[in-house]
A and B are shown apart, each in its own frame.
Chain A
Amino acid sequence: MDLFPLLLSLRVAALATLITTVIGVSGAYVLARLDFPGRGLLEAVASLPIVLPPTVLGYYLLVVLGRTSPIGRAWEAVTGGPLVFTWQAAVIAAAVASLPYTLRAATAAIAAVDTAYEEAARVCGLHGARLAITVTLPLAARGIVAGISLAFARALGDFGTTIMVAGNIPGRTQTMPIAVYDRVQAFDYATAGLLAAVLAAVAIIVLLGVRWLERSTT
């Protein structure tokens, strides 16, 4: 059996999760702790990937990352090749599609931290990033980890957005969910079933982990 889709999916999902963790957690801190005009709008826009059909999201990403777009041209100038239809594009697709899961869970978890802990720490001399890292984020850790786990599962399972911007190139951009589709098209149900089982198992493990995290908070 060809292990490439599994390994690619793991790499794509891991990198996408790294990106969504950094952007999602820092964005969540800003949304939960700072008050600024347009905050509600920003929160709504950041949640768009949940409600947009994945192919529509993929279409817009294709517009933003395509060869004629500023980002696409900049990428091509640096690397010598186009960004779309590469595994890197699959990482971006998975990250954009899964970002809201980290962002929303982390925003809720940070907003639920009693500000009295932060006040006590501020009087003790902590502030800025050090305050966030030593006080706020650890107190919100369970909610944040639950969000990261969901985002990982979402990134691992992404189909529509990925196929729009990275295509279905066996041995290059064919992730597991796309390989399932590809195998079914070729009437290779045995391989499709195996790949589907792996994806389903990961999803169930993540779901159980998140349930456990949510239970142990209360």
Chain B
Amino acid sequence: MSLTVDVRASVGDPLSPSGAFHLDARFEVAGGLTVVAGPSGAGKTRLLRLLAGLDRPSDGRIALDGEPFCDLASGVHLPAHERRIGMVFQQPFLLPHRSIRSNVALAVRTGTRADRRDEAMELLEQVGGVDLAHRRPGQLSGGQQQRVALARALAGHPRLLLLDEPFSALDVPVRDRLRRIVRDLVSTAGLPTLFVTHDPDELLVLADRVLLAEHGRFMTVTDPDGAIAAMRAPGPQDRPAR
């Protein structure tokens, strides 16, 4: 499993001196868990959005095991719903009008209604949320909701898992438990995973390798301590991530 990224993107940014934020990502990562670390505004969320197909790069190529889902030179740009990528955002964004089981089942892409429900229950079991199945998102704590969001991200049998600071809003004990769940899922499924975080502890616990983001550029780092030092240094663009 390897993810090859070679993309450029520019977005209007009133806070930047040049009026635009430029992202230039060139890297290749193998399977396992890659932590994407770096100061706020370095382009981590932007990168994940490009990978998921939620934003369109201005040029470049993204491929998983040589199979491109974005290759603008040859006119390939798969929409988000065709990429088979699992993504967990900073907020869970579960549908409030549906049960937890239904939220997960919506993301299961094949099978009959009953199959999808069964699969949703299996996924909920994997994240330790089976007892939540018949509740509504509004009745769950933040940690429980992110657990469900994780189950939902896995429902489409993704080829790549993207996690954008999924646990940053949670209490420390909840965070620890969820990190362990992610760690186990990634190692059992062998799913290539990009995990964005601000948190040095999270980096140390989770990272197989680190992708360090700075001013819209990314480099792979093998030494976690170096990465942590870089994370702690406030960048000139330091501000809340969007």
Contacts and interface: CB of A to CB of B under 8 A. Distances in A.
B93 A123 contact: no
Interface string A98-142: 000000000000000010110111111111000100110011010
B53 to A, nearest CB: 8
A120 B86 CA distance: 9
Interface residues of A, number: 18
B126 interface: no
B79 A122 contact: yes
Contacts of A119: 54, 80, 89, 93
A127 B81 CA distance: 7
A122 B93 CA distance: 12
Contacts of A122: 53-54, 79-81
Given A119-B54, A120-B89, A134-B95, A125 B107 contact: yes
A145 to B, nearest CB: 13
Prevailing SS type, chain B contact patch: loop
Contacts of B213: none
B109 interface: yes
Prevailing SS type, chain A contact patch: helix
B155 A135 contact: no
B107 A138 contact: no
A120 B97 contact: no
B93 A124 contact: no
A121 B94 CA distance: 9
A134 B155 CA distance: 17
Contact of B85 (A116, A123, A126, A131): A123
B87 A120 contact: yes
Interface residues of B, number: 26
Contacts of B153: 123-124
B142 to A, nearest CB: 16
Interface in B34-81: 52-54, 79-81
Given A116-B89, A134-B106, A123 B95 contact: no
B52 A123 contact: yes
Interface string A149-172: 000000000000000000000000
A123 B86 CA distance: 7
A140 to B, nearest CB: 11
Interface in A63-115: 114
B200 interface: no
Given A138-B95, A138-B97, A123 B155 contact: no
A120 B93 contact: yes
B220 interface: no
B17 to A, nearest CB: 28
B87 A123 contact: yes
Contacts of B52: 123
Given A134-B106, A138-B97, A139-B97, A123 B91 contact: no
B156 interface: yes
B163 to A, nearest CB: 12
A124 B83 CA distance: 9
A127 B84 CA distance: 13
Interface in B89-107: 89, 91, 93, 95-97, 106-107
Contacts of B83: 123
19 contacts: A114-B93, A116-B91, A116-B93, A119-B54, A119-B89, A122-B53, A122-B54, A123-B86, A124-B81, A124-B106, A124-B107, A124-B152, A124-B155, A126-B81, A131-B81, A134-B95, A134-B106, A138-B97, A139-B97
Interface of A: 114, 116-117, 119-127, 131, 134-135, 138-139, 141
Interface of B: 52-54, 79-87, 89, 91, 93, 95-97, 106-107, 109, 149, 152-153, 155-156
Given A119-B89, A122-B53, A125-B109, 13 more contacts: A120-B149, A121-B106, A122-B79, A123-B81, A123-B85, A124-B155, A124-B156, A125-B107, A125-B156, A126-B106, A134-B106, A139-B97, A141-B97
